[in-house]
Amino acid sequence: MKMILVRRFRVLILMVFLVACALHIVLDLLPKLERRAVRPSGEPGCSCAQPAVEAAAPGWAKARGRPGEPASAAGDGGWPNKHTLRILQDFSSDPSSNLTSHSLEKLPAAADPAEGALQGQDPGRPRPRDPAHRPLLRDPGPRRSVPPPGPSGDSSLLAKLFEHPLYQVSVPPLTEDDVLFNVNSDIRFNPKAAAENPDWPREGTENEEFLPTGEAAVDSYPNWLKFHIGINRYELYSRHNPAIEALLRDLSAQKITSVAMKSGGTQLKLIMTFQNYGQALFKPMKQTREQETPPDFFYFSDYERHNAEIAAFHLDRILDFRRVPPVAGRMVNMTKEIRDVTRDKKLWRTFFISPANNICFYGECSYYCSTEHALCGKPDQIEGSLAAFLPDLSLAKRKTWRNPWRRSYHKRKKAEWEVDPDYCEEVKQTPPYDSSHRVLDIMDMTIFDFLMGNMDRHHYETFEKFGNETFIIHLDNGRGFGKYSHDELSILVPLQQCCRPQGRCGELSWAPSPGWVGCPSPPCVCLEYWVPALTPRVSSGHLRCRAGRSPRCL
């Protein structure tokens, strides 16, 4: 009798296991089944009638497919985001779960989703280009005068700034060893070779108008490729490279064809691929510009701010470093430009509709990736920064260096430089700081970080091809511009330890370089110019603070 009961119990356990497996399989197949259950008219094939107004709401995805195909062939026609709600039933009803929605800035009336993100344009639609007009890479050609992003739109301040002698220092003549890529004009850019790769998105024939023809020479390469081939030993881009302004426009207007989560890192970042095969790193808006980092937050647990990335790029350019990859701001439609184009199931499954009827998602990361810290649109528009990718590591290897003045990243411990006033002497006896300009570059980076209030500079990178005689790439500036009511003087410790007597730079030999490397003068020179240029990127409190921080560098 006992054996019979044991056998029946085993059979029962097996049946429960099989039922659970079947349920998991059904849940996995639900998206495909719903897509197939679409009628030729594009309406969902269910017994309930969906009104046309509801189907056109922002929460409903439009049919995707090649031009000329019926909605049923597209596979995604009329697919409602209510499916996401079924998956994410664990969304907290606690009011704190929607805090991120309240922290986002309110969009002006002109930023209605129906009007698009950029002055009435569809945020995903690339701007049309005249195929007959293709300026040469080295020839600026006729360029439209674009006013700087200052409050008055007047370009006289920046124009006056760039006339200063510090901005007239020319780069030494470049040899083959001084450029990252040796461009052969006989080699053509062939997008078909990339299109054959299954990892590249294929959007149909409507893209062909905006893609290079395959017979194009260097002058008609996409702007991201022009940026890559312009990198040299001394700078990421030249002062007057027309491809940079064009690349910034591409970042804010090019059609997004694919989205995936970036692996690693503590907070959510997305890799976005564009119609011209360029890629950028997207950091969504988590805080308003007026919000300061709470005083009890450690620097390593602070939010990464999208506007800090944008402002850092412009500050770096005004300081004439040119060591930050181009960054632009963009309003992104979370439904059309993220959820509907991603192939990342882990990302797709984190989308939901908040109690305020806003589209939200949270992704996967170490910090702040939960329903309580979800990123919510208004209702489906979210602001963010897009930073252009550097060349792939398989083409241009980069070396990662530990910052000598790296913080301890510990709640109680201090780093060695915080307790040893002679720490700089040890650094100057250690390669590569003993024989190159690397210490000078660290001083540049110190001033750059102090003006931003960035304490999160644990590593930096250089291009391996150029060895130790090259510049430092200023990557990952998202934790800057967090406190405008507090000057973090500990960021200036490298200057205090290495640049000592009477404002001179001690024993260091400050030789001229393509950027400014003089000890005190550049921050003072730039002071009256860079404040108006950063107005849209940071709050007024940050601007008043930066105006007071520049003299402290002296």
Q: Is 388 annotated as a binding residue?
A: yes
Q: Is 389 annotated as a binding residue?
A: yes
* Displacement of CA 484 from its chain's centroid (Å): 23
Contacts of 19 (CB under 8 A, 6+ apart): none
Q: Is 390 annotated as a binding residue?
A: yes
Q: Is 387 annotated as a binding residue?
A: yes
456 is catalytic: yes
361, 233, 385: which is closest to 307 by C-alpha?
385
116, 117, 83, 124: which is closest to 348 by C-alpha?
83
In angstroms, what is the C-alpha Rg of the chain? 27
Exactly one of 320, 340, 449, 456 is catalytic; which is it? 456
156, 218, 227, 230: which is closest to 187 by C-alpha?
218
Within 13 Å of residue 139, how many CA atoms lie on the same side as its CB?
9
The C-alpha angle with vertex 113 and arms to 66 and 67, in degrees rounded to 5, equals 10
Q: In angstroms, rounded to a whole number, what is the distance separating the alpha carbons of residues 260 and 269?
A: 9
Q: Is 56 annotated as a binding residue?
A: no
375, 378, 396: which is closest to 107 by C-alpha?
378
Ordered DSSP codes for 522-547? HHHHHHHHHHHHTTTTS-HHHHHHHH
Q: How far is CA 201 from CA 90, 194, 212, in A?
A: 32, 10, 16
Answer whether the bond into residue 522 is a cis peptide, omega within 30°: no
- Identify whether the C-beta of residue 270 lies closer than 8 Å to the C-beta of residue 338: yes
Q: Is 166 annotated as a binding residue?
A: no
Q: DSSP H helical segments within 79-126, as ranges?
A: 82-87, 99-103
Contacts of 153 (CB under 8 A, 6+ apart): 147
- Identify whether the C-beta of residue 245 lies closer than 8 Å to the C-beta of residue 148: no
Q: Is 315 annotated as a binding residue?
A: no
DSSP-based three-state secondary structure for 416: helix
Q: Which amino acid is at 262?
A: K
Residues comprising the binding site for ATP? 267, 283, 304, 387-390, 461, 476
* Residues taking part in catalysis: 456
Residues in the annotated binding site for Mn(2+): 304, 476
Q: Which residues are annotated as a binding site?
A: 267, 283, 304, 387-390, 461, 476
